Amino acid sequence: MATKSICFYFQVHQPDRLRQYRFFDIGNDYNYCDDFTNKVIMRRVAQKCYLPVNALLLDMIKKNSKKFKVAFSISGVAVDQFKRYAPEVLDSFKALAATGCVEFLAETYAHSLASVANEAEFKQQVKDHSKLIESTFGVKPVTFRNTELIYSDAIGATVASMGYTTMLTEGAKHILGWKSPNFVYTNAINPRLRLLLKNSAMSDDIAFRFSNRSWDGWPLTAEKYAGWVDSALQNEDTLNLFMDYETFGEHQSAESGIFDFLKALPAALLAKGFTFNTPAEVAKMHQPVAPLHVPDPISWADEERDLSAWLGNELQNEAFHKVYALGNKVKRTKNEDLINTYRMLQESDHFYYMCTKFFSDGAVHSYFNPYDTPYEAFINYMNVLSDFELRVDACLKNNNKK
């Protein structure tokens, strides 16, 4: 039997939530972030997820004599938050890196939507993130994953031109049609870029349905899941299980048994002859079956699997256009502080909070949202952006005087 791969990739990201920033603060106060909330949430998720699951994964890698492998994509802003609020988490990721069984992926530094806004800004953020990951974990990323798995033919071509050979995206039904996500595909413009597609159904069995008692798959055991994998990969090459890392311990609580499930999974799958591979390995091991045509951007979010969670209404579009219109001005300041703040303002989460799709995916949206309404999110963001623009203008004026 040819090798059949199981490919785990976990997303690690924490946004910089803004504090309540009022009109009266514009021009008077440039502290934008709610440091307290950010710290509290980071500490909480570190205790419930990052620290225990990192320890668990380290243990699993050792116990299965390095046959268990995973990949992480950690946003630059999350790394910055670890440094600030939970340095021990960063140490535990370094310990995982040292096993050689963990691949770290490249993404945009600020978990931003730059790929659909501005190519130069996008490339710069990817470079900066790559540098950060290399300096932190000692390995230069070769696989790319874009914010929220956003992908299109054009984005893929840009990523390929930067030297990446593999990219992850969503196995969106409206793109695949009858095709299976369980093969390696290539970019439609540059066939050297290999694409790994998320198997949504089997990823969501773990990420969303695991603790749902009204789901007919409940309770999910490692053996049951291995059986499903077996039938899914009868004639196919790879099963790509992509999910938020916070699935373990945060979205699915420890009491749901998710840790025990994870712990038992390697043995159950290895027993059936599957191998665990990182994305870079999967892309090398398996022959691509076809180019994948994605003219319009897709993502892993919501039922639509498109950009509508971030750019779906007039509030989001206005905020998005206004922030990216500042790009050149910010660059000209050559002011590191302003450039960093500009990155923070690009975090996709700010736009996510302005989403008005309350009905179908509202539960997930409100879970992640610090604001009561999308309108408040918009007002607050625009106030911050207005102050930021004033500071940029003032800095440029100063530069001109010198």
Partner 1 sequence: MFGWEFPPHISGGLGTACYGMTKGLAHNDVDVLFVMPSASGDEDQSDISIINASDVETADTLMSIDEFLGKVEFLRVGSNIMPYVDPEDYTKLTSEERLMQTEEFKYHFHNKYKFSGKYGKNLMEEVVRYSMVGGTLALQNNFDVIHAHDWLTYLAGIAAKRVSGKPLVIHVHATEYDRTGENVNTQVYAIEQMGMREADKVITVSDWTRNIVINKYGIDPEKVVTVHNAVDFSNRETLVAKRGVPEKTVTFLGRITFQKGPEYFIEAAYKVLQKNDNVRFVMAGSGDLLNRSIRRVAQLGIADKFHFTGFLRGADVQKMFALSDVYVMPSVSEPFGISPLEAMQSNVPTIISKQSGVAEVLKYAIKVDFWDIDGLADAIYGLVTYPAIAKMAGEKGYDEVNSLKWDHAAAKIKDVYQAAMNLK
Chain residues in the site for partner 1 (CB under 8 A): 22-29, 313-315, 317-319, 321-322, 373, 375, 378-379, 382-383, 385-387, 389-390
Q: Tokens for 152?
A: 């299109």
Residues 6+ positions from 345 with CB-CB distance below 8 Å: 323, 381, 384, 385, 388
Q: Residue 205 and residue 344: Cα distance in Å, rounded?
A: 33
DSSP 106: B
CB of 343 to partner 1, least distance (A): 19
Cβ closest to partner 1, residue 216 vs residue 372 = 372
Q: How far is the CB of 338 from partner 1 (least distance, A)?
A: 17
Secondary element (H or E) of residue 175 = helix 173-176
Is the four-CA dihedral 234, 235, 237, 242 of positive or negative sign?
Answer: negative
Q: How far apart are CA 118 and CA 349, in angstroms?
A: 18
Q: Please state, in angstroms and rounded to a whole number, the distance separating the CA atoms of residues 199 and 336.
A: 40
d(CA 16, CA 55): 26
Q: Which is nearer to partner 1, 292 or 392 (CB)?
A: 392
Q: Please, what is the minimum distance in Å from the beta carbon of residue 20 to partner 1? A: 10
Count of CB atoms situated within 10 Å of the CB of 163: 11
Residue 316 CB, shortest distance to partner 1, in Å, is 9
Report the length, in residues, of the chain. 402
Choosing from 103, 107, 121, 148, the catalytic residue is 148
Cα separation of 78 and 70, whole Å?
19
Nearer to partner 1, 25 or 119 (CB): 25
Q: Is 148 assigned a catalytic role?
A: yes
Q: Give the bridge partners for 5, in sequence order.
A: 238, 275
Strand pairing class (275-276; 166-170): unpaired
- State the nearest-atom distance from the C-beta of 312 to partner 1, in Å: 13
Closer CB to partner 1, 280 or 315, in the complex? 315
Active site residues: 148
